[in-house]
Amino acid sequence: MLAMVRAATEEGSFAAVFNAHHRQAVRLAYLLTSDAFQAEDIAAEAFAKVYVRWKRGEVRDVGAYLRRAVANEANSKLRRRYLERRESSRRSGDDRGVRLVDEDAADRDEVWAALARLPDRQRHAVVLRYYEDLSEAETAQLLGCSVGTVKSQVSRGLAKLERMLDPAADAGRGGGSR
Amino acid sequence: MTRIEQRVRDSLQARATDVEPTPDLWDAVDRRITRRRRVRVTAWALAGAAALAAVLVVPGLLTGTISLPDIEPITPPPVEEVEVDVPAEPLIVVHDRDLSVVTAQEVRTLVTLPEEGESTFVHVAVRPGSTLDDLTVVTTTTAEGFHDLRWTRLVDGEVVVAHTAFEGAYAPAAAASTTASLSVPVWAPDGSAVAWIDQVGGDATLRVVGWDDGPGTGDPATDNTAFTLELPAGVPLHLQEWVGSVSTVEGMTEIRAVRDDLTTGWYTIPLLRQADGAWSQPAGAPSVTAEPGPPVDGVTAALAGVTDDVVVRFMVRLTDVGAVLVTDPYGTAVSTALPDDLQPDARAAALWLAPAGDGVVVGGSEAGVAWAVAPDGTLTPLDVPIRWGSTLR
C-alpha cells in the first residue's frame, strides 16, 4: 500500500506507465526465459532502467522501449545462466516469481516444453518473431545481431521443435537437417 | 504460416495469458529506482569533490575504492568514501616505444622497442586466454612510413619472445609499401588465429593467420588465408572485435568493424570455420555486410562487446554535441559524454574501447589518453600516457 501511495505522489504518472505495461513485460520475460523467478526480476530491472529515460522525457514509445529493455535483460542473463538456474532451483518452493493461472497447463503443453529446450538465442528469436510479431529486421535490431543471424536462429529453432514434437515424422524424412 | 509456426504461436499466446505478475512487482521496481537515485547522488558528490581537488590517483581508483581528497567542498558530500566500480583488471597498453601493463598496483613496462629502429607502437591486441603469467600480444608498429606487425610473449614476467615481426607469408602489405595501410589486428575468440586488413589503394583484403606459438601453423588448412572485401573504395575499414557463436550454424563467427563513412551502424565480416579448422566465407553471402545502427543519435566510431555474446555492449557515437559513449545501445542506451581530451580524436581510426568487467576503457590514440568508465557513468582518467590498450580476456 505504501508503494501505491508513493506511486500516486513522487513517481506520479510512472505508476500509470507501470500499470499499462507490467503484465506484457512480465509475460515476455517469462516466454524468453521459461523461468518464473527470473521473469519478475527481469521486468523489474527493465522498468527501473526505462524510468531513468522516461523521467528525462527521452522515451516516445514506452511499450517498444520496455520490450527492448526486457529482451536485453533476458539476453544478458545468458552469461549468468548457470548461476541463475542454481539460484532458481534453490528458491523452488517459495512464493516469489510470476503466478501461473493454471499451474499444470504449462506441463501439459508439449510445444512449450520443447521451446524450453531450445538454446537461449534460438528461443529469444522465436519468441520475438511469433509472440511479439516483430519482423526479422526488428528482431535483429533488438537482439543486436544481423538479420541473417535471426533468420538462421528462427529456422534452426523451428526445425528443432519439429524434430522434438514429431520424431517419427522426422525419422521418416530421413532425420532432417542437422 | 506453416503448421509448426502456428503451433508455436498458439503455445506462446496460451502461456503468456497464463502468466500474472505478483503484487510485489511494483515494490521491486521502486527499490531499484531508489537504489539508482542513491548511486547517482553519490557519483555527483564524488565528481564535484574530485573536480575541486583536481587530483585523482589512478592506483587508488583501480582498486575500486576512492578516498575523497581532504578539501572543503562547496556542498558537503553525503559520504566520506564510496565504492566505484572501475576496472580492476590489468590493461595492456602501448605508447611510444613501450609495451606496458597497468594494474591496480603499478604501471610496469614489459618491453621497449630499440631506439635505433625508430619504431613506435600503434596498436595492441591481447591473445584470448592470456594471463599476466603467460601473455601473448600482437602489436602494430610504425617507422618511416611503414607499418608492421610484431608479436611478444612473456611467461612468468620474463620475455621469451620479444617483438618479433611477422615475416614471409605472414607479413602485412604495409611492411613493404608506404602506400598500404594496416588495420588494428583482432584475435579469433579462441586465440587460434589473428586477422587484420591490408588496404592497398582501393582494395581491402582480410588476412587471417593461424596461430601456433607464433604466426602460422604449418597446416595448409589453417596456416594463413586471405579474403577480398567488396567495399566502396576510399574509406578504410577498422576492425573492432572478432565474435564467436553468432548463429546456430556451427563454426559461424563474425568480425565487426566500423568505417569513417558516417554510417549509423557497423559492418560484419562473416567467417565460417570448417571441420578441418580452415576459415572461409559463407558461399553466396556478401563478404561484408552493413548492419543497422541502434535507435540512438549519431554515427558509430567504435564498438565493443563480450566475445561470446552477440549483443553490442558499448559504442562510441559521434553526435552533434561530440563523441558520446553509449552503454547498452540496443537496450537502455545510457549515454556518457566523453571528456574534452578525447574529442579531437573522435573518429574511428583513433578511438578504441576495451571492456573491463562491467565497465569499459575508452582511449584516444592521438591524444594518448584513456579513461575508465564505470557502469554508473563515472569517468576516471588513467593517469599514464596510453596510445592503445587491450584488456585480458
Q: Return residues 110-129 of B near A (CB < 8 Å).
A: none
User: Between B194 and B346, where is the model more confident?
Assistant: B194
Q: What is the per-residue pLDDT for B216?
A: 92
Average pLDDT along chain B: 80
Q: And the C-alpha cell for A77?
A: 542473463
Cα–Cα nearest to B300, from B244, B360, B238: B238
- What's the rounded mean pLDDT across residues A117-132? 90
A161 touches B at CB < 8 Å: yes
Among B95-99, B192-196, B244-248, the least confident range: B244-248
Q: What is the per-residue pLDDT for A83?
A: 42
Q: What CA–CA distances, in Å, run from B304 to A155, B21, B338?
A: 28, 35, 16
* ipTM of the prediction greater than 0.85, yes or no: no
The alpha carbon torsion through B183, B187, B188, B193 (nearest 10 deg) reads 90
- Given a contact cutoff of 8 angstroms between Cβ atoms, the answer to whether B106 and B90 are in contact is no
The answer on pLDDT for A87 being more than 70 is: no
Q: What CA–CA distances, in Å, run from A30 to A33, B108, B155?
A: 5, 49, 47
Q: What is the per-residue pLDDT for B71?
A: 25
B144 touches A at CB < 8 Å: no
High-pLDDT (> 70) share of chain B, %: 83
Long-range contacts at A60-65 (CB < 8 A, ≥ 24 apart): A62/A17, A62/A20, A62/A21, A63/A21, A63/A24
User: pLDDT tens for residues B216-249?
Assistant: 998 999 999 999 998 877 778 999 999 887 776 7
Domain boundaries, chain B: 14-82, 85-391
Model confidence at B80, in pLDDT bands (50, 70, 90)?
very low
3-state helix, strand, coil in chain B (%, to 5): 15, 40, 40
Q: Which residues of B touch A158 (CB under 8 A)?
A: 2, 4-5, 8
Q: Which fold has domain B85-391?
A: Neuraminidase (2.120.10)
Instruction: Name the residue among B24, B311, B329 with its Cβ closest to that of A143.
Output: B311
Among B75-89, B152-166, B347-361, the least confident range: B75-89
Model confidence at A177, in pLDDT bands (50, 70, 90)?
very low
Domains of chain A: 1-99 (no CATH), 102-173 (1.10.10.10)
User: pLDDT tens for residues B100-148?
Assistant: 988 776 788 888 887 766 789 999 999 999 988 889 999 999 988 889 9
- What's the rounded mean pLDDT across residues B283-289? 90
Angle (CA) A91 A164 A134, round 5°: 75
Interchain proximity A146–B10, CB inside 8 Å: no
High-pLDDT (> 90) share of chain A, %: 21
Model confidence at A12, in pLDDT bands (50, 70, 90)?
low
Instruction: Name the residue among A15, A78, A146 with its Cβ closest to that of B289.
Output: A146
- What's the rounded mean pLDDT across residues B355-362? 88
The answer on pLDDT for A170 being more than 70 is: no
Tracing cell 527499490 back to the chain, one arrives at B31
DSSP string for residues in B80-114? SEEE-----S-EEEEETTEEEEE-SS-EEEEEE--
The answer on pLDDT for B267 being more than 80 is: yes
Instruction: Name the residue among B8, B25, B249 with its Cβ closest to that of A40.
Output: B25
User: pLDDT tens for residues B1-16?
Assistant: 899 999 999 999 998 9
The answer on pLDDT for B182 being more than 70 is: yes
Model confidence at A104, in pLDDT bands (50, 70, 90)?
low
Model confidence at A146, in pLDDT bands (50, 70, 90)?
confident
